[in-house]
A and B are shown apart, each in its own frame.
Chain A
């Protein structure tokens, strides 16, 4: 059986048929507020506390003190984990990170060696777009960055902003989707005048995975992936329609 890097997130590991594959780059894409960073923090926190795998968080925008606060709201004491040498939250920029990973004995390489880090959250990959306006060059930069993380033995979660709150995706993720090993989409969905959250594993290179679209909630313990949407179609369009009763009879209500 393939070795897996469990996220420890209820429902997600099941969708991933056990978890991410080791030393892979895993993209989490969604609109603002969908919980990308929470999912990433949970991946890091569970890695340290449940699987004894130290982790790094690289942030390109939010200040580390924001992570300490947000994590504390879920009962995750990131400051304590830092004091114990199991976590480091590094605020830097894509340009410095890129240069750091390209050299021998850089900061990330040193931290990985010193801490024995196995997981990394990069929040967010969208900031790499400022390094080049040429999509071909950008893809090369992102490809090199991802390979450097793999070289260090890290399993990474990379977040990416999608500007579309509802409806069709406005993302130009096609390029990065080819480069990463798994691709998870987090979306807002409107059902009967209420906003729900939906999660879909679009891709998991080298493994089968759940193809259904699941609801999830951000609870006081973090993200919990729940049951799939029943009796709806067009979920990822943001405005699903109720499926014909006969269709539901035939294919859903078994």
Chain B
């Protein structure tokens, strides 16, 4: 008998680390966020305005703005006002940095990536 879609999802979720699953479902729940997290992981001391971060990511400012704000809300990134200008950087919290590293390293595995993509697409519906 074919698996129902929810059963299939449950199966996909089963063998994923619960912290990573939560990270994907609640923090990096879009492809733009995924790109941003990867960018900041590879360039960890980047500190800049949304306009410049959008340029670094090769995306438009409007698309990046809301994603950055959500990453700040979820604790992945930090925002500070520099003379009134909002400036974003990766969270300095060591636990969060370790979780980001765990996610990026896990993404090197194709099967993990496929699962992560599945969860993101499902979450976007």
Question: Within 8 Å of chain B (Cβ to Cβ): is A229?
Answer: no
Give A88 to B82 CA distance when docked, in angstroms. Answer: 20
Interface size on A, residues (CB 8 A): 17
Closest to B82 in A: A99
- Residues of B with C-beta under 8 A to A99: 82-83, 85
Give A91 to B56 CA distance when docked, in angstroms. Answer: 10
Pair B85/A96 contact, Cβ less than 8 Å: yes
- Residues of A with C-beta under 8 A to B9: none
Pair A64/B83 contact, Cβ less than 8 Å: no
| B19-27, B39-47, B68-76 - interface stretch | B39-47
Question: Within 8 Å of chain B (Cβ to Cβ): is A107?
Answer: yes
Give A27 to B70 CA distance when docked, in angstroms. Answer: 41
Pair A95/B43 contact, Cβ less than 8 Å: no
Question: Within 8 Å of chain B (Cβ to Cβ): is A171?
Answer: no
Question: Within 8 Å of chain B (Cβ to Cβ): is A14?
Answer: no
Interface residues in B31-74 (C-beta closer than 8 Å to A): 42-49, 52, 56
Question: Within 8 Å of chain B (Cβ to Cβ): is A103?
Answer: yes
Question: Within 8 Å of chain B (Cβ to Cβ): is A92?
Answer: yes
Question: Within 8 Å of chain B (Cβ to Cβ): is A117?
Answer: no
Pair A65/B43 contact, Cβ less than 8 Å: yes
Pair A93/B45 contact, Cβ less than 8 Å: no
Give A199 to B116 CA distance when docked, in angstroms. Answer: 52
- Asked if A103 meets B43 with Cβ closer than 8 Å, knowing A92-B48, A96-B48, the reply is no
- Residues of B with C-beta under 8 A to A63: 42-43, 56
Interface size on B, residues (CB 8 A): 14
- Residues of B with C-beta under 8 A to A65: 42-43
Pair A106/B52 contact, Cβ less than 8 Å: no
Question: Within 8 Å of chain A (Cβ to Cβ): is B107?
Answer: no
Instruction: Encode contact with B along A86-104: 1 for CB under 8 Å, 0 otherwise.
Output: 0011111101100110110
Pair B85/A64 contact, Cβ less than 8 Å: no
Give A63 to B42 CA distance when docked, in angstroms. Answer: 9
Given A91-B46, A93-B52, A100-B82, list of 20 further CB < 8 A pairs?
A63-B56, A64-B42, A64-B43, A64-B45, A64-B46, A65-B43, A88-B45, A89-B43, A90-B47, A91-B47, A91-B48, A92-B47, A93-B49, A95-B49, A96-B47, A96-B85, A96-B87, A99-B83, A103-B82, A106-B82
Please list the residues of chain A having a beta carbon within 8 angstroms of any beta carbon in chain B: 63-65, 88-93, 95-96, 99-100, 102-103, 106-107
Some 25 contacts from A to B, beta carbons below 8 A apart, are A63-B43, A63-B56, A65-B43, A89-B43, A89-B45, A90-B45, A90-B46, A91-B45, A91-B46, A92-B46, A92-B47, A92-B48, A92-B52, A93-B49, A95-B49, A95-B85, A96-B47, A96-B49, A96-B82, A96-B85, A99-B83, A99-B85, A100-B82, A103-B82, A107-B47
What are the 6 tightest A-B residue pairs by CB atom distance, in nearest-first order?
A91-B46, A64-B43, A99-B83, A90-B45, A65-B42, A93-B52
